[in-house]
Amino acid sequence: MTRIILIETSTALCSAALSEDGRVVRYVESSEPRAHASMAAPFVKEVLGDLRVSDCDAVCVSSGPGSYTGLRVGVSTAKGLCFGAGIPLISVGTLEALVFQAISEGLVPEGCPFIVPILDARRMEVYSAVYTGDGKLVREVRPEVITAESFEPERAEGPVLFIGDAADKCRPILGDGTFVQCCPKASSLAVPAFKAYKEKRFEDTAYFEPFYLKEFTATVSRKNLF
């Protein structure tokens, strides 16, 4: 049996899960704001129950794109677990996780030609990719500004499923299609993580970094603090 600890902290939802041979056996989540750093490790402890980290075969973390701080929390937690227990690190792209979430939860409409995972990047910007209705990658991840012309080739072939935390803000502009507003969950990492484990696609635990896509930009507060 292959046990994998799953960690997802890339958006507003912080979650963790434990999978056995690609099937989720325990799951916990919280959408409490700005609490990922305090929740990630306790959530892992909760899903482990009576097990130890060393009883597991790997740790999988959602690698981004997403929140800079959230990704740092998830990856740091995963690395600490891997170093401490001497087990490998696996990463799954956040947009890929959303696609598996759509498929596993039965959210893909019949005859849907494409699944477009979309993560909020503020204003009308999103991080997006394009997959076929059965989960095959068609177009790599990229940042883009949503307009009425976005995803025209895909939308021309039939109703597209748009899934992610930017779905609601894109609905008025894109109009047609199916829109599922949600955050990625740790449970959606189970299948791709198990596949990666069997194929021995592990990350270098010491040097692995999240996929930020857009560089983090610090700004100066406008508030007069003194």
Q: Which CATH architecture has domain 95-181?
A: 2-Layer Sandwich (3.30)
pLDDT, average across residues 115-125: 93
User: What is the average pLDDT value for the chain, to the nearest integer?
Assistant: 93
Where does the pLDDT of residue 214 fall: very low under 50, low under 70, confident under 90, or very high at 90 and above?
low
pLDDT in tens, 159-185: 999 999 999 999 999 988 999 999 999
Upper half-sphere CA count for residue 18 (Cβ side, 13 Å)? 18
Q: Which of 201, 217, 216, 218 is nearest to 93 (CA)?
A: 201
At 106 the three-state DSSP class reads coil
Residues forming CATH 3.30.420.40 domain(s) in the chain? 3-93+185-198
> What's the per-residue H, E or C state across 155-190?
HCCCCCEEEECCHHHHHHHHCCCEEEECCCCHHHHH
- pTM, full prediction: 0.91
pLDDT at 90: 98
pLDDT in tens, 25-44: 999 999 888 789 999 999 99
pLDDT at 223: 52
**Is residue 222 pLDDT above 80, yes or no?**
no
Q: How far apart, in whole angstroms, are the C-alpha atoms of residue 136 and residue 131?
A: 5
**In angstroms, how far is the first alpha carbon of the chain from the final one?**
58
pLDDT, average across residues 94-120: 96
Provide, rounded to the nearest whole percent, the portion of the chain with pLDDT above 90.
89
**Is residue 104 pLDDT above 90, yes or no?**
yes
pLDDT, average across residues 52-64: 97
At 210 the three-state DSSP class reads coil
Q: How far apart, in whole angstroms, are the C-alpha atoms of residue 170 and residue 125?
A: 10
pLDDT in tens, 10-19: 999 999 999 9
Domain 3-93+185-198 of CATH type 3.30.420.40: yes
Longest dimension (CA), the chain: 60
pLDDT, average across residues 100-123: 95
**Is residue 24 pLDDT above 70, yes or no?**
yes
